Structure 1
């Protein structure tokens, strides 16, 4: 079971056409990487593209998470948290934002999840203090 991302724009409002196109293209890349390569190779690629050049602004990162969720809603195949979070990570990394791609879980009830963190805080995730997410992998 995976946990859905919070930012779910119905019509893509607040997301410009260039960001929509980039999100769709990077979602296709994220799906291809995750289907064709083992996770360790995907993590190595994610670490390679991470080039923080400027301080993180949470509002900008939220736009990229929203764009990734928008693209995931329009993808004809499976685009759950793993694919969408990698898409958001790639968008942020290519634009120079310093974010982390996290994969982890929570217990009771058990659920696996992937998300983006900016300044060590999850972006676009529900605030559930009684059932926190535990990071297993951070890139």
Structure 2
């Protein structure tokens, strides 16, 4: 009898332009989060959202998150949910597409989290209907 091994799924390599954009936006997001006050980061996010031309579809947002996840594998710095979600948000804005950047929390256990939403749904997030995050800031 064979036992299935826990092999991580193979991540497809996104198109070259998406990879370059994801690396750049991840570096920019990390710099904003680590080197500037939160109000400056929020101002950059609000300006970026105003410069978008249209709402992103769910498939476009998934593509952006996939490129960001690919780029994060090679990133030498800390990349937690705040940096990762901001990178996906900025990447979408640079493509002229608008997604919502959400920062929220949940209780029992107490946790904070950041993510992006497209079409009113979180993108690239695990589904936890029993312990949902409550949005405290949406841009």
Give the TM-score taking structure 2 as reference length: 0.87
1:82 equivalenced with 2:82 (yes/no)? yes
- 1:19–1:12 CA distance, 2 compared to 1 (3 A): farther
- Give 1:11 deviation, angstroms: 5.3
Pick 1 or 2: higher relative contact order, CA cutoff 8 A, min separation 6.
Answer: 1
> Residues 73 and 79 of structure 1 are in contact (CA less than 8 Å); yes or no, is this contact kept in structure 2?
no
Match of 2:73, SS state, is helix
Match of 1:63, SS state, is helix
- Give 1:56 deviation, angstroms: 2.4
> Residues 102 and 117 of structure 1 are in contact (CA less than 8 Å); yes or no, is this contact kept in structure 2?
yes
Aligned partners of 1:98, 1:123: CA distance in 2, in Å?
A: 13
Q: In the alignment, what sits opposite 1:123?
A: 123
Aligned partners of 2:15, 2:24: CA distance in 1, in Å?
A: 14
Moved more, 43-52 or 12-21: 12-21
> Residues 12 and 67 of structure 1 are in contact (CA less than 8 Å); yes or no, is this contact kept in structure 2?
no
Q: In the alignment, what sits opposite 1:3?
A: none
Aligned partners of 1:110, 1:29: CA distance in 2, in Å?
A: 29
- The within-5 A match list for 1:48-127 is 48-50=47-49, 51-127=51-127
Provide the aligned length of Structure 1 versus Structure 2: 131
Computing the radius of gyration over CA atoms, which structure comes out larger, 1 or 2?
2
Aligned Cα root-mean-square deviation (Å): 1.6
Q: In the alignment, what sits opposite 1:21?
A: 20
Aligned partners of 1:102, 1:70: CA distance in 2, in Å?
A: 21
Instruction: Identify unmatched segments of 5+ residues in structure 2.
Output: 1-7
Aligned partners of 1:72, 1:19: CA distance in 2, in Å?
A: 13
- The within-5 A match list for 1:31-46 is 31-46=30-45
Aligned partners of 1:10, 1:81: CA distance in 2, in Å?
A: 21
Moved over 4 A (4+): 9-12
Match of 1:74, SS state, is coil
